[in-house]
Amino acid sequence: VHMTVGRFAYTPVFGIVYDNDGDGIKFNYKTGKLGGDAFVMRLGFSNYTAPLDATQAFRGNNQVFGGLLSYTFDDKANVQAAYYNLDSRGDNQLDFDILEVALSYKVVKNVELWGEYIRGGNKLDTYDVDRNGFAGGVRFGNPNRSKAGTWGLRAAYYDVPAAGNIATTVDLDITPLGDGYKGYQVGATWIPIKNIDVN
């Protein structure tokens, strides 16, 4: 079991539900094809980008805890499942859960397909919002910061409800009654010099 304590960055699965840093503790365990995490983190106001009006709802502590299980079938296929609970102890106390299931598959060398399903939480009992979301895409290449000259291409589609993210990779101001975010993404990464990437 590997334990991390303090202030650190954490990006479970593909970073769609959670991709952020904070103060907390994380346990990681891996044996053979099976791996897992358990974590508790406190988010600061400045790095919280999730689904409520932060000026009213998050004046106190923002705590997220959860767990992740992953299983690697072979060199090509991997499946992950994650659970998150957000507990906001601000003026408008909030407590909701998010479930995430993801699969990645290497079609051929340096070509990977990925997809995931998200079941968002009900932010407040008085809100009736879409709770189901999904995302998927393809990656080509193998950019590696430790190897100059490596590169990669990517394309993806996202349909993520406002209730289906806590601190997402996508930097958007998601409103309480909004529909989350939906759209396409294309991008490239190039490592011109070791430890420097261009996106």
Enter the tokens of residue 69: 């299980």
Print the SS3 string covering 41-99.
Answer: EEECHHHCCCCCCHHHHCCCCEEEEEEEEEEECCCCEEEEEEEEEEEECCCCCEEEEEE
Q: Which residues neighbour 128 within 8 Å (Cβ) at sequence distance 6 or greater?
A: none
Closest CA to 109 of 77, 138, 142, 79: 142
Q: What's the pLDDT score for residue 173?
A: 55
pLDDT of residue 57: 42
Mean pLDDT by 10 residues, the chain (199 residues): 92 89 92 94 57 42 88 92 81 74 94 94 60 93 90 93 75 56 91 90
The pTM of this model reads 0.80
- SS3 call for 170: coil
pLDDT at position 53? 43
Q: How far apart are CA 112 and CA 156, in angstroms?
A: 12
116/82 Cα distance (integer angstroms): 11
Torsion of CA 15, 98, 40, 20, to 10 degrees: 30
pLDDT at position 131: 82
Evaluate whether 2 touches 39 at the Cβ level (below 8 Å): no
Note the pLDDT of residue 137. Answer: 96
Give the Cα separation of 116 and 127 in Å (integer).
Answer: 25
